[in-house]
């Protein structure tokens, strides 16, 4: 029998700055005061890894957690109490209700049908989402007079801002509607503000804010610049270094032709890892303080970079991808949310 041996390390790693993550939660919590900040940790902690971000945020003081799917809750449940975890999509089936009641997870009820399903399944403490203008999930304002709501034990009554990252009239409209909701729906706590909503000011904060992208380094309003720190640092190993003569092309379809003799590094990074083709001839990696431009087209598993100015770079060395979210979004055309959640499981994640 062939003996089992350890899997070799990945040539991709996503370094998570735990101190920056803790700082971001503390800063957003302070901006939320007297409300408290929770944490949206859906989509595997916005791509950084639930197992890595939840313990850091819990140690920083976070006590309220938000996931999208029931299947995401288990990874969070390994670190924090079930009653602190809200499942935003609510109970779509009786099996969801049974799971919530067995585990103690808190469903977010988004419709009268979900409310009836929750009550019929035995009920218990829950959260309720009310739509105040995003026209996504949530009870319609016209539903709030339904007698079913009076049968609920609601911890958090929440809504979601559609355009808090921009200064438009919709923000005030949603606030006014949510203020009216607070007078109609009885709950222990009320929550409206996401990351950008925190920056709008105390009127939007309620009792609990729900930051997501800003926890992980996203700057979604100017007020958060200089407050939020970069958390995720993608790194990739050099697979090969080669010399390319002037006039030779690099990569698929010859989109880059060397204007001079160049030293080129080929790294284990491509669009299958979430480093999309929009970075072709545009992205930057780093070797210390030396910037290494991407050359040619990003392919599925490989990207070429100019290492002419980094003569010490060799096979097996690690390069850092420039990935500060606001700047990377402006450069790539991707949103800050996409930049994080695109990074796939070939990246070994580690908090430190």
In whole angstroms, give the CA distance from residue 101 to residue 118: 10
The question of whether 233 is a catalytic residue gets the answer no
Residue with the two structure tokens 């996504």: 136
Is 99 part of the annotated catalytic residue set?
A: no
42, 99, 190, 216: the catalytic one is 42
How many degrees, rounded to 5, is the angle at CA 341 between CA 189 and CA 192? 20
The answer to whether the Cα torsion of 289, 290, 294, 300 is positive or negative is negative
Instruction: Out of 216, 233, 252, 275, pick the active-site residue.
Output: 252
Q: Give catalytic residues, as residue numbers.
A: 42, 252
């Amino acid at each position: 029998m062939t003996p089992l041996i350890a899997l070799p390390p990945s040539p991709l790693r996503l370094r998570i700055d735990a101190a920056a993550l803790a700082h971001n939660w503390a800063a957003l919590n302070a901006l939320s005061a007297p409300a408290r900040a929770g944490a949206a940790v859906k989509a595997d902690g916005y791509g950084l890894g639930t197992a890595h971000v939840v313990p850091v945020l819990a140690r920083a003081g976070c006590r309220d957690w938000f996931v999208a799917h029931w299947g995401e809750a288990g990874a969070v449940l390994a670190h924090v109490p079930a009653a602190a975890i809200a499942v935003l999509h609510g109970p779509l089936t009786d099996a969801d209700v049974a799971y919530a009641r067995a585990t103690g997870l808190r469903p977010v009820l988004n419709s009268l049908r979900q409310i009836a399903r929750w009550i019929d399944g035995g009920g218990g403490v829950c959260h309720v989402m009310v739509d105040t203008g995003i026209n996504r999930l949530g009870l319609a304002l016209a539903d709030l007079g339904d007698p079913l709501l009076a049968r609920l034990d609601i911890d958090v009554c929440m809504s979601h801002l559609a355009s808090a990252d921009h200064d438009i009239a919709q923000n005030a409209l949603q606030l006014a509607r949510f203020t009216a909701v607070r007078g109609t729906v009885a709950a222990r706590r009320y929550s409206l503000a996401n990351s950008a909503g925190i920056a709008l000011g105390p009127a939007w904060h309620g009792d609990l804010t729900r930051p997501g992208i800003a926890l992980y380094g996203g700057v979604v309003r100017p007020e958060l610049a200089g407050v939020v720190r970069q958390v995720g640092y993608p790194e990739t190993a050099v697979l090969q270094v080669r010399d390319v003569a002037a006039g030779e092309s690099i990569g698929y379809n010859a989109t880059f032709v060397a204007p001079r003799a160049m030293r080129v590094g080929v790294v284990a990074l491509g669009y299958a890892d979430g480093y999309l083709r929009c970075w072709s001839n545009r992205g930057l990696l780093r070797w210390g303080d030396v910037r290494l431009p991407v050359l040619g087209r990003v392919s599925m598993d490989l990207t070429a970079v100019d290492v002419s100015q980094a003569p010490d770079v060799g096979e097996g060395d690690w390069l850092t991808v420039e990935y500060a979210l606001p700047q990377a979004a402006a450069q790539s055309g991707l949103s800050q949310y996409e930049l994080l959640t695109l990074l796939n499981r070939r990246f070994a994640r580690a908090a430190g």
